[in-house]
Amino acid sequence: MASDIFGNPLPPEPLPPEAEPLPEPPAPDGPGLFGDPAPPPRPAAPPPAPAEPTAPAATPYRVLARKYRPTSFAELIGQDALVRTLGNAFTQGRVHHAFMLTGVRGVGKTTTARIIARALNCIGPDGKGGPTADPCGVCSECRAILADRHPDYIELDAASSNSVDDVRELRERLRFRPAQGRFKVIVLDEVHMLSSAAFNALLKTLEEPPPDVKFMLATTELRKVPTTILSRCQTFHLKRVPQQALRDHFARICDKEGVAAEAEALALVARAADGSVRDGLSILDQAIALAGSAGVTAAAVREMLGLADQGLALALMEALMAGDVAAALDLSEQAHSRGIDPGVMLSDLLELTHLLSRLRSMPDLRRDPALTEEERVRGAALADRLSIPVLGRAWQMLLKGVQEVAQDGVDRRAAAEMVLIRLAHVAELPTPGELVKRLTDSGALPVAPGAGPPPPGPGGGLRAIAGGGAQPAAAPRAPEPAPAPALPQPGTWRDVVALASGRDPQLHAELLFYVHPVHVAPGRIEMRPAQGAPRDIAQKLIGFLQSATGARWAVSLVNAGGEPTLAEQGRAAEQDRLALARAHPLVQAVLAAFPGATIEAVRDASLDSYGLPAPAPEEAAEMDARGFAPPDALPADPDDIPEED
């Protein structure tokens, strides 16, 4: 732009006359100057075309999870205890100032908080109502909270607002009275994400909030919330919604949406929801979009959820349980070509093993509509062919296989195939119980002539626990005897020690490990203290027996003789049982069938808590007839007891 000598911009130069547009001459109103006829009149400009009507803006689509979000307690499904408790609280005017709502995702924690906020602030259609368990939904307070524009309804995400500064800012906002409603309602979602400092800053306000403030805390990880916070809240555990309730709920929604849906398809959606209403509605939304104008079918839902590979898992399990390694590896190759991760393949087998175990244990489960047709027919047939021990062994091996595949630096596909090979190989082997039964029925045990099984104990037998090999071997366990009542007047040393058990633990331990019994009779005990025994053990025992039995007891100490301590007797008896078990022909046969297995312990249900059998009647009578120390030996001076090496 041009400027003058002072720098001011100059006005634009006028256009030359030839460049200016000439005005259009007026139309002649008569004949021309030289007698020319008058030109025809100019056509009038056409009127502007009328504007086409504008189409109304399309209403944005709302997903089913938002469209059918409950707005009252009556619409909550599967939470009867919560609804009943809160309804009674509002009726009685006993509404707490802080609620802790916990449960898995999508069961209605935040929805319940919003319903409580409306119930607290509802003023009714006439504007004169008070807190109620049945908010009207039409008053200004209810509509504002439903639209998320109420100034006194504050909903915070503790996952992002989790610092102590955020809590301090919230506390400052609570100093002012509600701007519009009756109460200020603070909703803290995922409250377990708050930092320790934020929890401490919230603690005092949560314990003594202003009278017009209510707190609603929601979390999926209740164990991560400090107990100091939990003790100041009323906690409600929102349960997973049962599958039957979810199926009925989804059927009602399909009717309202005008969508046809097969009952099996809704059962599959409810099963995939895993108790979460929101997850189920999201899956149903996707299934309706997939179906288009057609109805929602079970086949389409299975394909959408990736359940079409369930037949592959069943075929793989059938090959494994038949010991067909080649078929199992071929099916594994098919799974790999379909893009199925090896870990997912093993996880599917693990889930199938659990289902087969349930079908085997509960035959009525086969009529469950939540199961697919293939699970009810093909899975039930496979469960009938497999026993619980076989399924339990497969579960343990698959569980370990999943961990092996997840290890770092391991070829996942190779690790998964090795698990399949082991499963197919083990399928041909009998379980420990089957092996024992076969050896017993066939008489193939290597029993020497005249040798038989060792005599059972007073309770009826032994149970050997093998460890370190492929599987443990166990004989049937005898039923445990009922505990014998405590004797008011002990007659044996074991009775004396048992009397102290539970009443005086310290004295019980001292008698168990540091006393050699010499003679015991009602009212009289002769014993030899071992090295490390307390010097006042005799006086302590006298006082205890007098208070426990109500009779006077004489306790004498000697310097020599006596039986081993009760603990030494128990250890010696355990070694004898181990030697007896190793010599048993049946145990030897099991150890030979499972190389590397060892006997770790032997359990005998007939033994007492010290690992000793009950004394025979004649032995007890002999103990009662034994002599006792002379009177001058009572009591002995503890200083005269020599210390043992």
Confidence band of 225 (pLDDT split at 50, 70, 90) = very high
Distance set, CA 508 to CA 102, 348, 563 (Å):
46, 53, 17
User: Do residue 562 and residue 623 come from a single domain?
Assistant: yes
Q: What is the pLDDT of residue 370?
A: 73
Range list of H helices, 378-504: 380-385, 388-405, 412-426, 432-442, 493-500
Q: What is the pLDDT of residue 478?
A: 52
* Helix or strand run (H / E) with residue 234: strand 234-237
Considering only CA atoms, which of 485, 492, 487 is closest in space to residue 621? 492
User: Do residue 286 and residue 342 come from a single domain?
Assistant: no
Q: What is the pLDDT of residue 630?
A: 40
Q: Which residue has the higher pLDDT, 448 or 148?
A: 148
Q: Which residue has the higher pLDDT, 617 or 356?
A: 356
DSSP one-letter code for 9:
B
Phi and psi based region of residue 205 (left: phi greater than 0; alpha: psi -120 to 50; beta: remaining): alpha
For the beta carbon of residue 190, count every other beta carbon within 10 angstroms.
Answer: 20
Q: What is the pLDDT of residue 454?
A: 43
Q: Has residue 409 been placed in a domain?
A: yes
Q: Has residue 44 been placed in a domain?
A: no
User: Do residue 204 and residue 248 come from a single domain?
Assistant: no
User: Do residue 226 and residue 247 come from a single domain?
Assistant: no
User: End of a domain among 429, 445, 474?
Assistant: 429
Condensed to tens digits (0 to 9), the pLDDT of residues 268-297 reads: 899 888 889 999 999 999 999 988 878 899
Place of tokens 């097969």: 262
**CA-atom Rg of the chain in angstroms:** 43
User: Do residue 82 and residue 220 come from a single domain?
Assistant: yes
Q: What is the pLDDT of residue 416?
A: 93
Q: What is the pLDDT of residue 448?
A: 41
User: End of a domain among 237, 257, 276?
Assistant: 237
Q: Is the pLDDT of residue 69 over 80?
A: yes
In the chain, the amino acid numbered 232 is: R
Q: Has residue 327 been placed in a domain?
A: yes
Lowest mean pLDDT among 122-136, 549-563, 588-602: 588-602
Lowest mean pLDDT among 226-230, 459-463, 502-506, 606-610: 459-463
Q: How far apart are CA 153 and CA 178, in angstroms?
A: 9
Q: Has residue 461 been placed in a domain?
A: no
Confidence band of 472 (pLDDT split at 50, 70, 90) = very low
Q: How far apart are CA 238 and CA 285, in angstroms?
A: 24
**255's tokens:** 């009717």
Instruction: List Cβ neighbours of 611 (8 Å cut-off, separation of 6 or more).
Output: 570, 571, 573, 574
The partner residues of 517 in beta bridges, in order of sequence, read 527
Distance set, CA 635 to CA 525, 554, 638 (Å):
11, 8, 9
**502's tokens:** 């539970």
255, with CB counted inside 10 A (0-12, 13-18, 19+), is exposed
Question: Can you give the CATH number for the domain in which 189 is found?
Answer: 3.40.50.300
- Whether the CB-CB separation of 406 and 344 falls below 8 Å is answered with no
DSSP one-letter code for 226:
-
Confidence band of 549 (pLDDT split at 50, 70, 90) = confident
Distance set, CA 213 to CA 90, 149, 225, 236, 300 (Å):
16, 18, 21, 19, 49
Q: How far apart are CA 392 and CA 433, in angstroms?
A: 13
Q: Is the pLDDT of residue 310 over 80?
A: no
Residues 70, 190, 77, CA angle at the centre, nearest 5°?
A: 25
Confidence band of 331 (pLDDT split at 50, 70, 90) = very high
Q: How far apart are CA 466 and CA 463, in angstroms?
A: 10
Q: What is the pLDDT of residue 372?
A: 76
- The backbone torsions φ and ψ at residue 502, rounded to the nearest 5 degrees and listed phi first, read 85, -25
Q: Are strands 153-157 and 234-237 parallel, antiparallel or unpaired?
A: unpaired
Q: What is the pLDDT of residue 26?
A: 58
Distance set, CA 78 to CA 241, 253, 279, 581, 589 (Å):
5, 16, 15, 55, 56
Residues in the chain: 645
How many helices (DSSP H) and strands (DSSP E) are in the chain? 25, 10
User: Do residue 300 and residue 411 come from a single domain?
Assistant: no
Q: Is the pLDDT of residue 237 over 90?
A: yes
User: Do residue 231 and residue 253 come from a single domain?
Assistant: no
Condensed to tens digits (0 to 9), the pLDDT of residues 605-627 reads: 788 888 888 766 555 555 444 44
Q: Has residue 585 been placed in a domain?
A: no
Q: Work out the average pLDDT over 145-171.
A: 89
Q: Work out the average pLDDT over 86-104.
A: 92
Instruction: List Cβ neighbours of 352 (8 Å cut-off, separation of 6 or more).
Output: 313, 314, 317, 379
Confidence band of 215 (pLDDT split at 50, 70, 90) = very high
User: Do residue 85 and residue 191 come from a single domain?
Assistant: yes
* DSSP per-residue codes, 237-277: EPPPPPHHHHHHHHHHHHHHHT--B-HHHHHHHHHHHTT-H
Q: How far apart are CA 163 and CA 320, in angstroms?
A: 54
Condensed to tens digits (0 to 9), the pLDDT of residues 362-409 reads: 988 888 877 777 888 889 999 999 999 999 999 999 999 999 999 988
- The domain of 269 spans 243-304
The partner residues of 189 in beta bridges, in order of sequence, read 157
Q: What is the pLDDT of residue 456?
A: 42
Q: What is the pLDDT of residue 50?
A: 59
Question: Can you give the CATH number for the domain in which 365 is found?
Answer: 1.20.272.10
Q: Is the pLDDT of residue 450 over 50?
A: no
User: End of a domain among 382, 411, 429?
Assistant: 429
Phi and psi based region of residue 339 (left: phi greater than 0; alpha: psi -120 to 50; beta: remaining): left
Confidence band of 469 (pLDDT split at 50, 70, 90) = very low
Q: Has residue 378 been placed in a domain?
A: yes
User: Do residue 132 and residue 164 come from a single domain?
Assistant: yes
Question: Can you give the CATH number for the domain in which 507 is found?
Answer: 3.30.300
Place of tokens 């399309």: 58
Q: How far apart are CA 386 and CA 361, in angstroms?
A: 11
Q: Work out the average pLDDT over 217-233.
A: 92
Which long-range contacts link 5-13 to residues 24+ away (Cβ below 8 Å)? Answer: none
C-alpha torsion angle, residues 196, 199, 204, 210 (rounded to 10):
160
Q: What is the pLDDT of residue 49?
A: 60
User: Do residue 279 and residue 342 come from a single domain?
Assistant: no
* SS3 of residue 377 by DSSP: helix
Confidence band of 636 (pLDDT split at 50, 70, 90) = very low
User: Do residue 622 and residue 516 come from a single domain?
Assistant: yes
Q: Has residue 522 been placed in a domain?
A: yes
Q: What is the pLDDT of residue 527?
A: 92
Quote the percentage of the chain above a pLDDT of 90. 34
Q: Work out the average pLDDT over 311-323.
A: 91
This prediction's pTM: 0.56
Q: Has residue 284 been placed in a domain?
A: yes
Q: Is the pLDDT of residue 432 over 80?
A: no
Residues 430, 436, 439, CA angle at the centre, nearest 5°?
A: 100
Q: How far apart are CA 213 and CA 186, in angstroms?
A: 8
Total count of domains within the chain = 4
* Helix or strand run (H / E) with residue 102: strand 98-102
User: Do residue 215 and residue 297 come from a single domain?
Assistant: no
Q: What is the pLDDT of residue 584?
A: 85
